[in-house]
Amino acid sequence: MTGTNHEKAFDPAAFFSRLGLVKKIVEVEPEDTFFTQGDAADAVFCLLAGRAKISVVSAKGKQATIQLLSPGDFFGEESLGSAPGPRVTMVTAVNRCMAMKIRRDEMLLLMHEEHEFCDRFLSYLLARSQRTQADLVDQLFNTSERRLARTLLLMAEFGKPEEAQAMIPPITQETLAQMIGTTRSRVSFFMNRFRDLGLISYTDRIRVHRLRLEAALLHQFA
C-alpha cells in the first residue's frame, strides 16, 4: 500500500504467502480487465506487480479514468459492503499485471483475525478517501493545466524520495486527459509547454523534474 513509510514497509506478497486462506493469483495482460462495471462484487484484489487503472463508463459510452494503481494497492473493496451488488467501476491493466484475488468471505475473516492487517487496510481506505476528496476539489476549482501538473507529481511520488527526477509509469495522453477532465489535444499542448519550461522531459517515458514542477504548481499555475 502506498502512502506513509509505515505502509510502504508492507509486503503483500510475503504477507499473503504465509496465510492458509484459499487465494488465487490473477495475471492480466495490458488493456485486459480484472473486472468491468456490472460484474458481481464478490472479491477484493491486491495488485502485486504492474500498473492498472480504475475507470468508469457513462451510459453514453464516455470513459473517465479515476485513479492509477501501483503494487500494494487494493481495489474492489466495494465487495465488502453489507449488501454487495454489481461493480460500479472497471479496472484495466496498463501493463502486464499480477494480483492476488481474495474472496469476500476470506477478506472479512482476514480483517477479523489479523488485526495488524486490518489496521493497514483501513488506513489505506482512509488515504484513498482523502485522495478522492482532493481530486474532487481539484476538478471543481483548478484549471486543467494545474490538474495535469498535480497528476504528474502524484504519479512521480512512486519514485525514490531522494531522487530529483522520477520516471512515471507508461501512460497515454488519452488516459491523462480522462484523469483531468479535458481533451487529448489540450494535454498535448500542456505537456509540450511543461517540456519547454524544463518541468518534464520525455521520449518514450515521461520524466518529472519534481522540484521544478512543485515550484510551478505552487506559483506559476496557482
pLDDT tens-place string over residues 192-213: 999 999 999 987 789 999 889 9
Q: What is the pLDDT of residue 22?
A: 58
Q: What is the pLDDT of residue 59?
A: 83
Question: What are 176-190's pLDDT values in tens digits?
Answer: 998 888 899 999 999
Averaged pLDDT score across all residues of the chain: 84
Q: Which domains does the chain have, with CATH numbers?
A: 5-138 (2.60.120.10), 143-220 (1.10.10.10)
Q: Is pLDDT above 60 for 159?
A: no
C-alpha cell at 8: 510502504
Average pLDDT over residues 1-19: 60
By the 8 A CB rule, do 72 and 2 touch? yes
Q: List the single range of 26-30, 38-42, 54-58, 131-135 with lowest mean pLDDT.
A: 131-135
Q: Which residues are paired to 34 by β-bridges? A: none
Q: Is pLDDT above 90 for 139?
A: no
Q: Is pLDDT above 90 for 63?
A: no
Average pLDDT over residues 84-113: 90
Average pLDDT over residues 46-54: 91
Q: What is the pLDDT of residue 148?
A: 92
Q: Is pLDDT above 60 for 175?
A: yes
Q: Is pLDDT above 80 for 86?
A: yes
> What global pTM score does this model have?
0.73
pLDDT, greater one: 47 or 23:
47
By the 8 A CB rule, do 146 and 130 touch? no
Q: Where are the beta strands (DSSP E) in 21-175?
A: 24-28, 33-35, 43-49, 52-57, 63-69, 74-75, 90-93, 97-103, 165-167
